[in-house]
Chains A and B, each alone.
Chain A
Amino acid sequence: MATTYQNKIVRINLKDRSITVEEIPVEKSIKYLGGRGLGTKILYDEGGAVADPMSTDNKLILMAGALTGAQVPTNGRYMAITRSPLTGMIACSNSGGVWGVKLRLAGWDGIILEDAADSPVRIHIEDHKIEILPADDLWGKTSTETEETLKALYPAASVLNIAPAAETGSLMAAIINEADRAAGRSGVGYVMGKKKLKAITVAASRKKLEPFDEAALKEAVNASMQLIKENGVTSGGLPTYGTAVLVNIINNVGSLPTKNWQGSYDERADMISGETMTDQHLVRKSACSRCPIACGRVLKRQDKEIGGPEYEVLWAYGSNCGVDDIEAIFEANYWCNELGLDAISTPCTIASAMELYQRGYITEAECEGIPLTWGSTEAIIEWTKRMGYGQTKLGQRMAQGSYRLCEHYGHPEYSMSVKKQEMPAYDARGIQGIGINYATSNRGGCHVRGYMISPEILGLPEQLDRESIEGKATWVKIFQDLTAVIDAAGMCLFTSFAMGALQYADIINAATGTNYDAAGLLEVGERIYNLERMFNKAAGMKPEDDKLPRRLTDEPISDGPSKGSISQIKVTLPQYYEVRGWDHAFPKQETLERLGLAD
């Protein structure tokens, strides 16, 4: 039976250099869909939840989605799955570009990386030929240097790499591919660095995957492409302005946190907005594999083209650090890519350090010549580099993330994080639903896991009142479940501005031979979400870990259109558990049984 599933995963032990091809039973792929679902299931079954996340026992799984590599829009997504060294919980970090496509075309659904090499190595995959090669000469190189060196050796391959941040032990280290796409969050790069694995190149001779039903797939894809073309976000806003278009929107609802969330309205937001980037700096837009949306930004830096920042990064280096210089943010974002750092957690950690400095807990002397002053363009660039290279005592400490930093100074409450992962760019005091997602996201502070901004701010699929809590818990569950489906399918979340569960079901069925309807597909998403929660439970998560920082529940927004607002998470959290069929933050037995997770 033709299917986009390759039914093969390769297990690579970097210590004994064994390379083992394993079959994945297709029923397992179908039950967990792929990517985020299947990868988490494999890790969980192999004891991943109780491995020491900072040790070489922590396995790293790179997993393609059900549709990765198929002839579908946005077919390039893959997941880096491990136990996060930052949070101790499931780490499931999503990246786009081309690397995932190559992995699938080479014949693989995923790679399981175990143990560690004694000295730096790299892996080269060419269809089913896999080699582990020395990489001492690459260790220490930036993403661009690594990409250029390896592309010279293998012009047809795609490059995935870590960079100095992972090599020097930052808990916010990312995995980079094609030099400017990132599996950014939760420290997945740290785990790869611990294994002394510098890069994985993949080349494939196949150009195409065989779907279950080619004609049906073409029809389903055409229907979805039509929706994408007709939708104002996917065909207008995103290609023209990128995600940066959100700066002015979120600011104008008074929910753009400033100076480590001490305020939530930025008078100078327009200077770091998508409009400013497009009008004054954009060279052109760019797209990932088979993507009709093209939200990527290309900028110029000293005669070279580089990737431009996303909304979250503009906010985090900009408003959240008091900075209004967009070019300084371009530079800081560039260094995140070059050094392999999470471009959300890194600036959020800098912001928390700036507040500690403001309050006198971090001293002038500790700043070693670069004061952590609000608005300092030198600070956002140089501290990023210090964190990425592991330079200066404070830089090394900051590289461990905002929670450990603030805890060291006796003030963990200044870490604007959930489960130790920094929250992104939407003030949960002004937008109630996203707050529920922040508190309950299985990987910690995150917006993409249940992007409530879509209904609460953008009016998609319908306009909700951002200040109301009515019905929000139910919406959050639906968004979280659908997101899990899209992640497991290997498509890009942005297609969901235009597509719904039915469209994803039609495409998945045609590609893999399954028979989902919309409800059935959402149930798979629900299964994945609950599986992750059980992983976290085994990892030692406590019910009180589902909470927002005190600032969001106790300190009303101090300025702007949402002045006076706080998060009502204390009311909405129990409502969410009710909707989920959970008790005290964990799935009830009947919920596990219903979802086939009870063993």
Chain B
Amino acid sequence: MIEVRLFATFRIRREKILFLEAEKYATAGEIIDVLEIPREEVAILLINGRHSKADTAVHDGDVLALFPPVGGG
């Protein structure tokens, strides 16, 4: 399974955490698409805690975390 964690405005009308079958998705981008999040709205994409891009491959056991543009100090 791939654990998908959604944050900030991505949680609106969606669950905070989803578990998806790994075989169905080759890249992080495909998961973003199936969640109906426009790719350009994803400002921070983490796979297992590391910054990655939409075309990065995902594997069974990965944790994918998605954030819209956010910031602070």
Q: Cβ of B8 < 8 Å from any Cβ of A?
A: yes
- Given the interface pairs A248-B7, A459-B43, A560-B49, the reply to whether A448 lies near B73 with Cβ below 8 Å is yes
The 0/1 profile, CB within 8 Å of A marked 1, for residues 7-22 of chain B is 1110100001000000
Q: Chain B interface: which of A37-45, A110-118, A221-229, A233-241?
A: A233-241
Bound Cα distance from A561 to B63, whole angstroms: 10
Q: Are A457 and B72 in contact (CB under 8 A)?
A: no
A236, B71: Cα distance in complex, Å = 9
Residue in contact with A253 in the complex, picked from B8, B49, B68, B71, CB distance below 8 Å:
B49
Could you tell me if A245 and B49 are in contact, using CB atoms closer than 8 angstroms?
Answer: no
B32 to chain A, nearest CB (A): 16
User: Is there an interface contact between A497 and B71, defined as CB atoms closer than 8 Å?
Assistant: yes
- Tell me if A270 is interfacial: C-beta within 8 Å of chain B: yes
B44, B46, B51, B72 pick with most chain A CB within 10 angstroms = B72
Q: Does A451 contact B (CB under 8 A)?
A: yes
Given A232-B43, A253-B46, A459-B43, the answer on whether A451 and B68 have CB atoms closer than 8 Å is no
- Interface check B58, CB cutoff 8 A: no
Query: Beyond A237-B8, A240-B9, A252-B49, is A447–B71 a contact (Cβ under 8 Å)?
Result: no
- Report how far A458 CA is from B8 CA in the complex, Å: 14
Question: Known: A459-B43, A561-B48. Is A242-B8 also a contact (CB below 8 A)?
Answer: no
Interface residues of B in 5-46 (CB under 8 A from A): 5, 7-9, 11, 16, 43-44, 46
User: CB-CB < 8 A to B46: which residues of A?
Assistant: 252-253, 561
Interfacial chain B residues near A560, Cβ < 8 Å: 49
Within 8 A of B (CB), among A519-575: 560-562
From A242, A270, A467, contact of B16 by CB (8 A): A270
Contact present for B49 and A562 (CB under 8 Å): yes
Given A249-B44, A458-B44, A459-B44, A275–B71 Cβ distance below 8 Å? no
Assess whether A244 is in contact with B72, with CB atoms less than 8 Å apart: yes
Query: Is the CB–CB distance between B8 and A275 below 8 Å?
Result: yes
Interface residues of A in 195-237 (CB under 8 A from B): 231-234, 236-237
Please tell me if the beta carbons of B68 and A242 are within 8 angstroms of each other in the complex.
no
A240 in contact with B43 (CB, 8 Å): no
The answer to the question of A246 belonging to the interface, with a C-beta cut-off of 8 Å to chain B, is yes
Assess A237 versus B51: contact at CB under 8 Å? Given A252-B5, A275-B7. Answer: no
* A242 in contact with B73 (CB, 8 Å): no
Choice from B8, B49, B63 contacting A240 with Cβ under 8 Å: B8
A466 at the interface (CB under 8 A from B): yes
Residue A463 CB within 8 A of the other chain: yes
Residue with the highest number of chain B CB atoms closer than 10 Å, among A254, A451, A459, A562: A459
CA separation between A467 and B72, bound complex, in Å?
A: 20
Q: Is A236 within 8 A of B69, CB to CB? A: yes
Inside 8 A of A562's CB, which chain B residues have their CB? 49
A562 vs B51: C-alpha distance when bound (angstroms): 12
B49 and A231 contact, CB distance less than 8 A: no
- Which A residues are CB-close (under 8 A) to B67? 248-249
**What is the distance, in angstroms, from A268's C-beta to the closest C-beta of chain B?**
13
The reply to whether the CB of A593 lies closer than 8 angstroms to some CB of chain B is no
Interface membership of A92, Cβ < 8 A: no
Pairwise interchain contact A451-B73, C-beta atoms closer than 8 A: yes
Q: Are A233 and B7 in contact (CB under 8 A)?
A: no
| Distance in Å: Cβ of A182 to nearest Cβ of chain B | 14
* A373-405 with Cβ < 8 A to chain B: none
Contacts of B72 in A (CB 8 A): 237-238, 242-246, 295, 310-311
Contact A231 B69 (CB under 8 A): yes
B residues near A253, Cβ cutoff 8 Å: 46, 49-50
Given contacts A232-B43, A463-B51, contact A311 B8 (CB under 8 A): no
A493 & B11 in contact (Cβ 8 Å cutoff): no
Chain A proximity of B68: nearest CB distance (Å): 7
Q: Which residues of B contact A238 (CB under 8 A)?
A: 70-72
- Is the CB of A469 closer than 8 A to any CB of chain B? no
Give, as a whole number of angstroms, the nearest-CB distance from A213 to chain B: 31
A532 nearest CB across to chain B (Å): 20
A465 in the interface (beta carbon within 8 A): yes
Q: Tell me if A243 and B9 are in contact (CB < 8 A).
A: no
CB of A274 within 8 Å of the partner chain: yes
- A454 interface hit (Cβ, 8 Å): yes
Is the CB of A154 closer than 8 A to any CB of chain B? no
Whether A233 lies near B69 (C-beta < 8 A) is yes
Given contacts A233-B70, A253-B46, A460-B71, contact A245 B51 (CB under 8 A): no
- Selected from A248, A249, A494, the residue in CB contact (under 8 A) with B73 is A494
**Contact at B73–A274, with CB atoms within 8 Å?**
no
Task: List A contacts of B50 (CB < 8 A).
Answer: 253, 467, 561
Q: Check A236 against B70 for contact (C-beta < 8 Å).
A: yes
State the Cβ distance, B58 to closest chain A Cβ, in Å: 15
Query: Would you call A236 and B7 a contact (CB within 8 A)?
Result: no
Contact call A232/B69, Cβ cutoff below 8 A:
yes
In the complex, A310 Cα to B73 Cα: how many Å? 8
CB interface residues, B 53-73, toward A, < 8 Å: 63, 65, 67-73
Residues of A within 8 A of B63 (CB): 561
Q: Which residues of A contact B8 (CB under 8 A)?
A: 237, 240-241, 245, 248, 274-275
CA distance A529 to B67 in the complex (A): 34
Nearest B residue to A460 via CB reads: B71
Are B51 and A466 in contact, CB atoms less than 8 angstroms apart? yes
* Complex contact B9–A459 (CB within 8 A): no
Q: In the complex the two chains form, what is the Cα distance from A458 to B68 in whole Å? A: 10
* Least CB separation from B17: chain A residue: A270
A-B pairs with lowest CB-CB distance, top 5 = A232-B69, A561-B49, A237-B70, A243-B72, A233-B71
* 12 residue pairs bridging A and B, Cβ less than 8 Å apart: A232-B43, A232-B69, A233-B69, A236-B69, A241-B70, A245-B72, A248-B8, A454-B71, A457-B44, A459-B43, A459-B44, A494-B71
- Apart from A237-B71, A274-B70, A447-B73, what 10 extra A-B contacts exist at CB < 8 Å? A233-B70, A234-B71, A237-B69, A237-B70, A241-B8, A243-B71, A252-B7, A253-B46, A493-B73, A561-B46
